[in-house]
Structure 1
Amino acid sequence: MADWQKLIAVPAAVASLALLAWPPDAFTPEMTRAAALSVFALGLFAGGLFPEHVTAVLYFLIAMLFTVAPASVIFSGFHSAAFWLVFGGLVISVAVGETGLGARIAHAIAARLRPSYLTIIVGLAVMGLATTFLIPSGMGRIVVFVPLVMAVADRFGFVEGTRGRTGILITFSFCAIFPGFTILPANVPNVVLMGGIESQYGVHLSYAEYMLLHFPVLGFLKCVIIVTLVWLLYRETPRQHVVERQEDRSLPLPSKSLGNAERRLAAIVGAALLLWIFDFLHHISPGWIALGAAFLCLMPGAGVLPPAAFATKINFTPMFTTAGILGIAGLVAHSGIGEYLGQAMLEAADLSPGDQGKTLISLVATSVGVGLAATVVGIPAVMVPLAGGVSEATGMSLDVVLMTQAVAYSTVILPYQLPPLLVAAQVTGLGLAVTSRFCLLLAVITMVVLLPLDFLWWSMLGYLD
């Protein structure tokens, strides 16, 4: 991460010290400590002064040393369904790579693409979108599939440094990340939102309802816009079509038939996907479904992952990050800061019953601003505790207020707000400059075009009545 991004941590530290020195009159000592720690920790998460898991551990340490809140609040993230959803996603991600199922999917798509730039990017957009259902981890999708996409670009003659290659990598990376905001288990902000809503309001999000509400506009149409922008900005004529060349081993050719491990993994992921889709029938949390899928992948004798994979292949960093963010959300709610900030936000925005359009715009704008300061993962951490007060003051249903956060955190202004996008910028070799320009352009189009369409879709569904 660039040095200027790390400077975000400095004003956060100053703000936390200022809160300790000059707390608002309405703050109790407990609220002051909680507010200072929350601002400090979110600033570290946003600025990247330390690795995210180190920031999470530091948050836990400070909170317990200074008795900022009970341990059940500080460590609440560890027993949330969201935490175990991330764990399940990490295990599935490793299994997709280890069994060869990921390579098979990539090759199957590449072999069927005609040597037309539009066909290539549409195919890779479909592939990226498909992976959001297959792997419930944005980081996992990038790590598993980007190397395969780079090999596909090579096969079509798009060598490093060409505009065509840049467009191909942007297409897959963005289509593998952004539609995931509309599919409940697919990205960390979703599961943080889910965990916060469950713990603070007792509301269980439905996979199907969440997808119906967000996917058509912020998922599918956003993919269409990504493909259109890439075609307009980066299109080039493919130089060759060498998918069939046997001497080219940059993309390993899978065997013609599925291996036993691939079959078992496909069955496990397929069953998990069906359970996620039909959760409105069985009411099992997506987190426990993911945990069950992870167990089946890890179970000795299942033939999906070797026993050593748990210790050697799985990166547990995202789990600590998720637990830390959820702990901050719990701290904000427990301390009463949420209620105080909710009132301050309502007064500043002058929200009132009956002005639904203004309320929706204000909520999204406020959340987008929070995302710039605290990354998109911080949006539900900060905004979920405020939702109850906003709902009471405006007369808008709690569900609608909460769902505006998904609209906001799917509107990413710059890559530093979203760790998988940062990783994609590095793994693909695109760099932050190219990725930032495209990200900013997509954010502008999202706010100007997709947000009005999204709220129109909500209205058509009767969600805003």
Structure 2
Amino acid sequence: MVTATELPVESRVAPASLAKTAAAAAAALVFWFLPLGLSPLVQHALAISLFMVVAWITHAIDHALAGFIGCYLFWALNVADFPLAFAGFADSTPWFLMGAVFFGVMATKSGLARRLAYLVMRAVGPRYARLLFGLILADFLLTFLVPSGIARVVIMAAVALGLMEAFGVGRTSNIARGMFIILTYTATIFDKMIIAGAASIVARGAIERVGGVEVLWSRWFLAYLPCDLITIFVAWRLTLYFYPPEKPALPGGESVLKEAVRALGPWSALEKRAAFLMATAILLWMTDFIHHISAPMIGLGIGLVATLPTIGILDTDDVKRVNYLPIFFVASAVSMGQVLVATKALDVLTDALFAWMAPFVTNVYSSTLVLYWSAFAYHIPLGDETSMLATSVPVLMTFAKAHRLDPLALGMVWTFGAGAKIFVYQSAPMVVGYSYGCFTARDMLKIGACLTVVESLIMIVIVPFYWPLIGI
């Protein structure tokens, strides 16, 4: 007799997935027929959107598939015509993400990301405190090259595991816990301070599209630069405080780090070409206030250049191995937002979700705190930060315009608030980091709570005093 524990994974997962999908469909069906006094078009658009959001929250099926189904239902049920139902696929946001994905593939395939991490480690020296600082700094620098938080965690985890072996400590040691908890957590917040990962790319697109304001890559980067620097320092000191190392320095000294770099060999032609292309993209992004070429155009353009035969960084097999489902998910989320805007359903959502906020956004200080902590709280039940931002930023932009508030400032604070996390389930990179078994959920709660408070204090200073200096 076959027991439940002996069943294949697919057999055990399928009923749960089916139940979640049925729950999402039931919620949408009930909402479709509720006597709410809304126009049929608005109510039907909201009902289909409800299905998509519930499916995303519960992970009933893959996010992209849930998004595709929603877009199809918009079209098939006459809520929107085909161009509107799938409008997100003609928006620049998902293609910006595609360019970012190509960047990650370039950095990992060429070995550039790993080399950068080890060069930083060698530069900081063999003492544990310095190595920990180097891990955080390398994580930040890799955000420019590897937009995927999961990929950065995997790359940095390989470095951390090597350091654990060199220190001669196990996974439950303070050295291991400190390195893994902080490289995991920072991987989920640095890509909110730089337009790099899917979440910030989605937020940027919604701010431009619905808020009607230009979002410059360079301005976003400069806006959060003080926060980056303070976060690196505070994260470093907090980790040392909570997890004092068993050994103050590598037993083998600098020779261990030099050997690790030497093992990488000389710079390959592939690394040099990848470094040149990425440096070109970063330079163009940093100077977009001069030439005003959009960030998506730069990102996708450089990514496509890397696939040209004469460049030779990415070949057809590399492109085939890319997981395009996250890109399709973003496109479907953007499509949902476009439908909600066109049908005026977004106005209904704005009144329902953000009307309470109006009395609290009377000045820059209260606005910053309310937005930051509201985004933090909003993220807890939604879990996935990309879907959270995809569904909430368009609504927030409508609220901003209705109350004559700055859409860019509100959108940036809200996006940053989504980066604050205290639970492992709130981000895929955190789940990946947790899977190495070097820290517990309690560790994440402790570090996350401290950094969440610190980040809010940073925002209450830089938003009113620094952001106006750079035109925000």
Partner of 1:193: 203
The match for 2:246 is: 237
1:227 corresponds to which residue?
236
Q: Does structure 1 residue 367 correspond to structure 2 residue 375?
A: yes
Question: How far 1:124 moved relative to its partner?
Answer: 0.6
Match of 2:146 among 119, 127, 135: 135
Equivalent positions of 1:238-253 (< 5 A) are 238=247, 241=250, 253=262
State which drifts further: 453-462 or 336-345: 453-462
- Cα deviation code 1:121-145 (max 9, x no counterpart): 1111110111111222323322343
In structure 2, the residue matched to 1:376 is: 385
The DSSP-based 3-state class of the residue aligned with 1:300 is coil
In structure 2, the CA distance between the partners of 1:349 and 1:241, relative to structure 1 (3 Å rule), is closer
Question: 1:88, 1:294 within 8 Å by CA — same for their partners in 2?
Answer: yes
What's the CA shift for 1:359?
Answer: 3.7
Identity across the alignment (%): 20
Q: Deviations over 1:150-204 (max 9, x none)?
A: 22332233332212101111222223331220111x1212111122233334433
Residue in 2 aligned with 1:32? 43
Point out the more displaced range, 433-442 or 62-71.
Answer: 433-442
Superposed, which structure 2 residues align to 1:418-433 within 5 Å? Answer: 418-426=427-435, 430=439, 432=441
| Structure 2 unaligned residues grouped into runs of 5+ | 1-12
Partner-residue secondary structure (3-state), 2:189: helix
Q: Distance in 2 between the 1:109 and 1:139 partners? A: 20
Which residue does 2:224 correspond to in 1?
214
Picking from 5, 30, 33, the partner of 1:21 is 33
Which residue in 1 is equivalent to 2:417?
408
Q: 1:171 aligns with which of 182, 186, 203?
A: 182
Contact in 2 for aligned 1:37/1:59 (Cα 8 Å) = yes
Match of 2:269 in 1: 260
- Give 2:86's aligned amino acid: F
Cα offset, 1:346, TM superposition:
5.0
For residues 67 and 372 of structure 2, what CA distance do their matches in structure 1 show? 27
For residues 190 and 416 of structure 2, what CA distance do their matches in structure 1 show?
11
State the alpha-carbon separation in 2 of the partners of residues 198 and 459 from structure 1: 18
Which among 105, 109, 112 is matched to residue 98 of structure 1?
Answer: 109
1:301 to 283, 301, 310: 310
Distance 1:179 1:336, change over 3 A: same
Q: Any idea what SS the aligned residue of 2:421 has?
A: coil
Determine the C-alpha separation between the residues in 2 that align with 1:9 and 1:371: 21
Deviation at 1:274, TM superposition (A): 0.3
Match of 1:161 in 2: 172
Q: How many Å separate the matches in 2 of 1:436 and 1:276?
A: 35
Letter in 1 for 2:308: M
Judge conservation of contact 1:9–1:49 (CA < 8 Å) in 2: yes
TM-score (norm 2): 0.85
C-alpha distance 234-316 of structure 1, shift in aligned 2 (>3 A)? same
384-393 vs 403-412, which moves further: 384-393
Q: Is the 8 A contact 1:379 1:405 kept in 2?
A: no
For 2:325 and 2:370, the matched residues in 1 are separated by: 34
User: How large is the RMSD of aligned CA atoms in angstroms?
Assistant: 3.3
Q: Distance in 1 between matches of 2:428 and 2:291?
A: 33
The number of residue pairs the alignment matches comes to: 458
* Superposition pairs of residues 33-112 of structure 1, within 5 angstroms: 33-112=44-123
User: Could you tell me how far 1:403 is from its partner in structure 2?
Assistant: 2.5
Compared CA separation, residues 105 and 353, structure 1 to 2 (3 A): closer
Distance 1:428 1:76 in 2: 42
TM-score, length basis structure 1: 0.87
